[in-house]
Amino acid sequence: MPRTLLLAVLAVVACAAARPAACAAASLPLEVEVRAREFAPGEPVRITVRAPEPLVSARGRFGGREIRLAPEDGRTPSASWTGWSLVGLDDPPGPAIIEITGRTAGGRAAAGARAVTVAAREFPVEHLTVAAKYVEPPADVAARLARERAALDAVYARTSPPPPDLGPFVPPVPGPPTSTFGKRRVFNGKPRAPHPGLDLRAAEGDTVRSAGAGTVVWAGELYYSGNTVIVDHGLGLFTIYAHLSRIDVREGQPVRAGERLGLAGATGRVTGPHLHFGAKIGREPFDPRALYDPSLFD
């Protein structure tokens, strides 16, 4: 068998064994670059896709979740696409694959993949005994909670284009963390959902700033998180600022990194003033401190 043909056959066999669906022999090969502080539960992943020909569409999957991709220059067709994904809090350690598919203006399919290894990560467990009112919401707020959940689901389902000046994020307040991301709290012996953000020390009235450039998509009161601002940073990336004593922005307002969103406080179901700083890709939380890492924004 001629050497070149043998190599071609081997390539198709390797490809089909790894991932048959994304791997038609005729598809255009995509270069998939992935960046993360660490491939471990609770970490965001930045994905960049380069194609040998401009694509009119591109989409991806990682660990059963969809990756929302957009052209880097904001124009379609494009040979360069970008998007966000994450390693979920409950993702198992071991090998995983990030798969991208796309299509050229001429209708040709494009495909590429990148294998990663997810490290194991343990989150601390904290046992707390608190007054019953902090554990179970009163029965008469069930309808309110359902309404808020539906409204937030609609917020996190949005896919906006990324702002052009999205760079490394900045801390929203200067105070140190008082509770870390992912901590599994057990209240009065009952396990709760893992802490979906970071608590930062802040006094009542301290200025709270947007960690990154984006658009305000929520500015209002919620049962658990009190006065809350959510900023949309594009392609499913959001940051959340909770328990504010005052909100100084309105929905639809563009904000720069470091711009004032409001003042810290103790609204919602909390025992004292602090800033709860959250970050999500879609509806899934990750450690917001990862966004300070400049390598995610190269």
Give contact residues for Zn ion (rule: CB under 5 A): 199, 276
Nearest to 273 by CA among 221, 218, 227, 222: 227
Contacts of 77 by beta carbon, 8 Å cutoff, 6+ apart = 54, 55, 56, 71, 104, 105
CB of 136 to Zn ion, least distance (A): 18
Cα distances (Å, whole numbers) of residue 58 to 80, 170, 271? 10, 30, 46
State which residue, 86 or 200, has the beta carbon closest to Zn ion. 200
Query: CA-CA distance, 225 to 242, in Å (whole number)?
Result: 5
CB of 244 to Zn ion, least distance (A): 13
State which residue, 60 or 262, has the beta carbon closest to Zn ion. 262
CB of 181 to Zn ion, least distance (A): 9
CB of 204 to Zn ion, least distance (A): 16
Nearest to 15 by CA among 162, 113, 96: 113
Query: CA-CA distance, 277 to 85, in Å (whole number)?
Result: 19
State which residue, 276 or 280, has the beta carbon closest to Zn ion. 276
CB of 179 to Zn ion, least distance (A): 6
Identity of the residue numbered 154: A
State which residue, 234 or 288, has the beta carbon closest to Zn ion. 288
